[in-house]
Chains A and B, each alone.
Chain A
Amino acid sequence: MPTYKLISSVTVGSGGAANITFSSIPATFTDLLIKVSARTNRADDSDDLYLTFNGISSGYSTRNLEGGGTTVSSDSFAGIGTKIGRMSQNAANNTANTFGNSEVYIPNYTSSKIKSISIDNVREHNGTYGSLNFIAGLWNYSGQPAITSITFTPNGSFVQYSSAYLYGISNA
């Protein structure tokens, strides 16, 4: 029976943060799961959050399926190759104190093969518009290293009370 253990968590303080990194991730689990609740100071209706591994900015590919209530779309994005995205999060123009939510699943994060990443993301602000993203990502980097660190970076900066929880999943 799979087990589910909190490895580490972080909540952004009053000074905000440009990015959040989980480093020295133990290799003792089978899969990783990260739950993110975020809002940024970007002066707009939304911001996008990106993911990189081991401090490396290459080898990534992303496909994003997005629903916005009345519209649907599918796209990659300009940063393709350098990071995985685009997890839409709440930003400065949204209702105060509302946050976007992302769930990132990374199976076989220690394998020596290409890594797959699936992301379920929602942004709503108790208003008339929200969006939902399903994101499929791959990390195909030379040498196929195990994932030992994960960094989340928005275009703006995380505001206070944004949080991220990293869990390890074991198959026993």
Chain B
Amino acid sequence: MSTLTKIVVNCETGEEQILNLTAEEISDLEASAAAYEVEQAAKIAADQAKAELKASAKTKLMAGLPLTAEEADVLVI
């Protein structure tokens, strides 16, 4: 695995440095990325569930069938 680096540009001098990440920085980065993956999975699942509820509510409305409370919730702003 290649070494993780960061780029730091000093705006006063114009100097650009490419530095290796410290162990702590790598640990923070890994923790953040892991949290992001969990968050993304939850967001995708929530979006999918909402889309399914809306589709079901629309079908029932057009057929004159009663909605569940969850289906009504996604239609009421």
Contact = CB atoms under 8 A, between A and B. Distances in A.
Contacts of B70: none
A48 B37 CA distance: 11
A17 B8 CA distance: 10
Contacts of B18: 13, 15, 17
Interface string A108-139: 00000000000000000000000000000000
Contact of B13 (A7, A22, A24, A157): A24
B9 A23 contact: yes
Given A79-B35, A157-B4, A24 B29 contact: no
Interface string B6-39: 1111111110101001000100010011011111
Contacts of A73: 47
Interface residues of B, number: 27
Nearest to A156: B33
B10 A75 contact: no
Nearest to A86: B36
Given A79-B32, A79-B35, A15 B47 contact: no
Interface of A: 7-10, 12-13, 15-26, 48, 71, 73, 75, 77-79, 153, 155-157, 166
Interface of B: 2, 4-14, 16, 18, 21, 25, 29, 32-33, 35-39, 43, 47, 51
Given A15-B18, A20-B9, A23-B9, 18 more contacts: A8-B11, A9-B9, A10-B7, A10-B9, A13-B18, A15-B5, A17-B5, A17-B6, A18-B21, A21-B6, A24-B10, A24-B12, A25-B11, A71-B51, A77-B39, A79-B35, A155-B37, A156-B33
